[in-house]
Amino acid sequence: MELTLEQKDIKQAAREFAEGEFKERAKEFDEKEEFDLSIWKKACENGFVGTFIKEECGGHGLGFLDHSLIAEEFWRVDPGCGQAVLSTTFGSEMIQAFGSEELKKKYLPPLVAGEAIMGFGITEPDAGSDAAGIKTKAERKNGKWVINGSKMFITNGCLADHLLVLCVTDPENPSIHKRHSAILVDTKQPGFQATKIHGKMGIRASNTAEISLIDVEAPIENLVGKPGRGFYQLMDFFNKTRNHVAAQGVGVAQGALELAIAYVKKRKAFGGTLSRLQGIQFVIAEMATRIEAARGLYWRAAYTVDKGSPDSALISMAKWNAGDTAVEVVNKALQLHGGYGYIAEYDIQRFYRDAKIVEIYEGSKEVEKAIIGSELLKRA
Ligand SMILES: Cc1cc2nc3c(=O)[nH]c(=O)nc-3n(C[C@H](O)[C@H](O)[C@H](O)COP(=O)(O)OP(=O)(O)OC[C@H]3O[C@@H](n4cnc5c(N)ncnc54)[C@H](O)[C@@H]3O)c2cc1C
């Protein structure tokens, strides 16, 4: 599979933006667990945010592969900054696919224009992989939704203007998968509280929060899609966003490979540079081959989404494999840096910490394997 000329241009432009706008400040953001939102605004002005949002909703009408190509390039330079910029539309995929025209017209354009940030609260303190087991409740009272519950590990929780919240709206439904709905909540509503989580292992430039919702009100029309269809909408949502996470894994692995190559070319040992040793070249070959394979897989998986027939098994393969690749490659890259990697080389240390998240969020690697296995057995 080959990228189109336009896609190659998007990739190159994203690379230049990341190198010019956040490469030099990545260490500072990681140390401070903060990000400079003027960089996000600039990314919006340059057309990198919400590329998949349709033109009539203020977006660029591009595909999910295009969005993933930008993620790969941003993560190649710095995963935390890449996440801080591109996660600002997280949840809009569901609004675009299932929301009313009013919701789309009202909430999507500001995300592309750099005027609003959103997030999506699915995970709870007692329900992560088991998304259907969430407890946050939304009840209809006096012509409004009244929401009570808590959400855990929510990206942009402290920054978001709006949070899409997965709630139980039909607790008595005999099917556990027909009890949920996604409701868009204004974070300025009384009863909404976000508490920043400090001390994450990686992607520390990205905001993560715990959310408490106590009698938070939302208009009835803020329910996205059909009542009781939230779980199925979530599966559609993940088919789109998991490609994006796969691209993140390829990006962090590519960045680590490049750091390792630069290091072994300058490090002296045994009368020359490390790069002259065949044992070292073998490691570089293994890293590069895994990255190319992971890249090809996520391109193919994203292509199934863009042509309108998402292949959930292929998408889960792309995500699981990219996470596995990322973790293996950063480990090898740090090893190639030797003691300097462990002690002094901040960039490779940061990549080592950042890569692990690809195996955890939006479906852990075990969840991805469960999807692949059950899907293939169903088809057989
Ligand atoms: C930095 C960060 C950002 C995040 N952002 C968001 C966000 O914006 N919105 C949101 O809703 N969530 C977010 N999450 C939450 C994330 O999606 C969950 O952490 C993830 O889904 C795993 O859930 P859990 O942590 O509860 O682990 P658990 O579900 O408790 O799982 C623990 C371990 O058991 C394994 N396991 C679970 N079930 C099975 C099984 N059936 N078979 C085999 N193994 C199994 C898991 O794979 C995992 O390894 C974020 C998490 C992090 C760390």
4: three-class secondary structure by DSSP: coil
- Give this prediction's pTM: 0.98
For ligand 1, pick from 327, 354, 364 the residue to mutate: most ligand atoms within 8 Å of CB. Answer: 364
Q: Are 261 and 89 in contact (CB under 8 A)?
A: no
Beta bridge partners of 224: 182
Residue 228: CB within 6 Å of ligand 1? no
121 Cα to the center of ligand 1, angstroms: 12
For ligand 1, pick from 167, 361, 368 the residue to mutate: most ligand atoms within 8 Å of CB. Answer: 361
Of 362, 366, 368, 375, the active-site residue reads 362
For the CA of 156, the closest atom of ligand 1 is: 8
CA 254 from centroid of its chain's CA atoms:
17
> What is the number of residues in the chain?
380
- Domain annotation for the chain: domains and CATH numbers: 5-113 (1.10.540.10), 118-228 (2.40.110.10), 231-379 (1.20.140.10)
Residue 364: CB within 6 Å of ligand 1? yes
Give the number of other Cβ atoms within 10 Å of residue 251's Cβ. 33
List the chain pLDDT tens, one digit each, 380 residues.
Answer: 789 999 999 999 999 999 999 999 999 999 999 999 999 999 999 999 999 999 999 999 999 999 999 999 999 999 999 999 999 999 999 999 999 999 999 999 999 999 999 999 999 999 999 999 999 999 999 999 999 999 999 999 999 999 999 999 999 999 999 999 999 999 999 999 999 999 999 999 999 999 999 999 999 999 999 999 999 999 999 999 999 999 999 999 999 999 999 999 999 999 999 999 999 999 999 999 999 999 999 999 999 999 999 999 999 999 999 999 999 999 999 999 999 999 988 999 999 999 999 999 999 999 999 999 999 999 99
Residue 92: CB within 6 Å of ligand 1? no
141: three-class secondary structure by DSSP: strand
Q: Hey, what amino acid is at 316?
A: S
**Distance from C-alpha of 153 to C-alpha of 119, rounded to nearest angstrom:** 11
